[in-house]
Amino acid sequence: MLYQLAVNFCILFTFSVISYWPFQDRGRFRIPYPRLHPALIGLLGGVTGVFLLAASVRLDGGVVVDARVPVIVISGIFGGPAAPIISALIIGSVRIAYAGFAGPGLIAGLNAFLTGLTAAGFFAWKGSSFRNARLFFHFAVLETAIVLVALLPPGSDQFLNTAMFLAYSYLSYFTVVTILRELNSHFRKLAGIEKLSRTDFLTGLNNSRAFGEILETALQNGHRPVSLILFDIDRFKKVNDTYGHPAGDEVLAELARRTRRAVLPGSAVISRNGGEEFSVLLPGIDGEEAADAADRLRLAMAGNPFIVTGGQSIPITISLGVCSFPGQAADSKQLYSRADGALYAAKQSGRNCTVVWPPRQGPILKT
């Protein structure tokens, strides 16, 4: 008996990890087509229930004990209302067929259907979460225990066997859920660390590492234009020297906020490349539209002074360089270097202007 229960638990645990890890968008590997995830999790739960039935503990009168209730509940945690219905339909149908459509097997199968339908209604009402699932599990396992007492023949240690079922169900479910919650916590922490490694701590924008990865991805489709705007703050060293580095940090953070609020194409990807240099990557945007976007951004900075702690008003302007792929650049390295060359030309042209590569086109100045 203990061996069979141990096998049951191992099957339950394997199902729980497999239905959690690739479907919850936490790891590097994940199952595509998210809309199909509830059905896939429900199917996986149903197949797991069949394995649990094969490894179940047989009691008197054709009654079996396994971890089908935890499977149905866990499938609802990860798959939402649809998953427990699918799991319960498979588990209940196999249980009824296994018993020959009669006796305790028929009642147990119908009870599985009831559990799945009730779980679907509960998760649709309360939402799918570990916390809500705990409430439903209490109901489901106690209801199943009542059915078990009714099915066990007199003189077959009804209450002892029912107590064993309750103990095993609670132990297996809460052990697995505790482990899954720890996994969830670790995945969240890893996701946070991964985000920090790709995010500039001061502005919340992409950092240079993330910028490089996004740029390479954007250029993989060689038939679609990609434009790059590089810009930095004019005479930023003077801002730091005059008002102090804390004020300079406030200026950088406010510049990031204004860039986010600026009227840019919806595909814009904003990054802080380092120091006072920023970039706006525009997948699908040609050079002319990128130049217009760049100058709107320039005007958004020059139009209003930056107010820092203490009420000091700091006039800020930026210079911008624009280059486009594939028209003016053949690859990511050339796109960046030529946008940087256009930015340098904007500095040489007197600052507070936009230059499109090649620089001989002259600066764009709009008021």
Residues 130 and 39 in one domain: yes
Residues 27 and 172 in one domain: yes
Residues 152 and 224 in one domain: no
The rounded distance, in Å, linking the Cα atoms of 73 and 80 is: 10
28 — pLDDT class (breaks 50, 70, 90): low
The rounded distance, in Å, linking the Cα atoms of 243 and 256 is: 19
Give the strand pairing for 306-307 and 226-233.
unpaired
Residue 31's CATH number: 1.10.1760
The residues with which 226 forms a beta bridge, in sequence order, are: 283, 325
Q: Please determine, for residue 25, whether its predicted confidence score (pLDDT) is greater than 70.
A: no
161 — pLDDT class (breaks 50, 70, 90): confident
Q: What is the pLDDT, as a whole number, of residue 328?
A: 92
Does the residue 153 lie in any domain? yes
Does the residue 224 lie in any domain? yes
153 — pLDDT class (breaks 50, 70, 90): confident
Residues 139 and 218 in one domain: no
Does the residue 281 lie in any domain? yes
Q: What percent of the chain has pLDDT over 90?
A: 66
Residues 88 and 177 in one domain: yes
**Nearest alpha-carbon partner for 177 in 6, 60, 332, 20:** 20
223 — pLDDT class (breaks 50, 70, 90): low
Residues 103 and 34 in one domain: yes
More confident residue, 161 or 124: 124
More confident residue, 29 or 90: 90
Give the residue ranges of DSSP H helices in 262-325. 287-302
- Give the orientation angle of helix 2-20 with respect to helix 158-198, to 10 degrees: 30
CA distances from 101 to 66, 87, 109, 204 (A): 19, 19, 9, 61
Q: What is the pLDDT, as a whole number, of residue 5?
A: 85
Residues 157 and 245 in one domain: no
Selected catalytic residue, list 250, 254, 276, 289:
276
**Nearest alpha-carbon partner for 204 in 166, 266, 252, 264:** 252
Residues 132 and 58 in one domain: yes
Given 173, 198, 223, which residue is the final one in a domain? 198
Q: What is the pLDDT, as a whole number, of residue 115?
A: 95
Given 150, 165, 198, which residue is the final one in a domain? 198
Average pLDDT of the segment spanning 198-207: 93
Residues 295 and 358 in one domain: yes
Is residue 194 part of the annotated active site? The answer reads: no
Average pLDDT of the segment spanning 99-127: 91
Does the residue 29 lie in any domain? yes
Residues 173 and 276 in one domain: no
Does the residue 260 lie in any domain? yes
44 — pLDDT class (breaks 50, 70, 90): very high
Cβ atoms of 70 and 10 within 8 Å: the answer is no
Q: Please determine, for residue 199, whether its predicted confidence score (pLDDT) is greater than 70.
A: yes
Average pLDDT of the segment spanning 108-136: 94
Residue type, 8: N
Helix (H, G, I), strand (E, B) or coil at 179: helix
Residues 137 and 237 in one domain: no
Q: Can you give the pTM of this predicted structure?
A: 0.65
Q: What is the pLDDT, as a whole number, of residue 333?
A: 95
367 — pLDDT class (breaks 50, 70, 90): very low
Total number of domains constituting the chain: 2
Q: Average pLDDT, whole number, for the chain? A: 90
Tokens describing residue 306: 């930056």
The rounded distance, in Å, linking the Cα atoms of 181 and 194 is: 20
In terms of residue numbers, what domain contains 111? Answer: 2-198
Residue 276's CATH number: 3.30.70.270
Average pLDDT of the segment spanning 316-344: 95
pLDDT in tens, 225-262: 999 999 999 999 999 999 999 999 999 999 999 999 99
Residues 295 and 193 in one domain: no
Q: What is the pLDDT, as a whole number, of residue 243?
A: 93
Given 140, 174, 198, which residue is the final one in a domain? 198
Does the residue 323 lie in any domain? yes
Q: Please determine, for residue 289, whether its predicted confidence score (pLDDT) is greater than 80.
A: yes
145 — pLDDT class (breaks 50, 70, 90): very high
Q: What is the pLDDT, as a whole number, of residue 24?
A: 66
More confident residue, 2 or 92: 92
Q: What is the pLDDT, as a whole number, of residue 250?
A: 96
Cβ atoms of 45 and 84 within 8 Å: the answer is yes
Residue 49 burial (C-beta neighbours within 10 Å; 0-12, 13-18, 19+): buried
Does the residue 203 lie in any domain? no
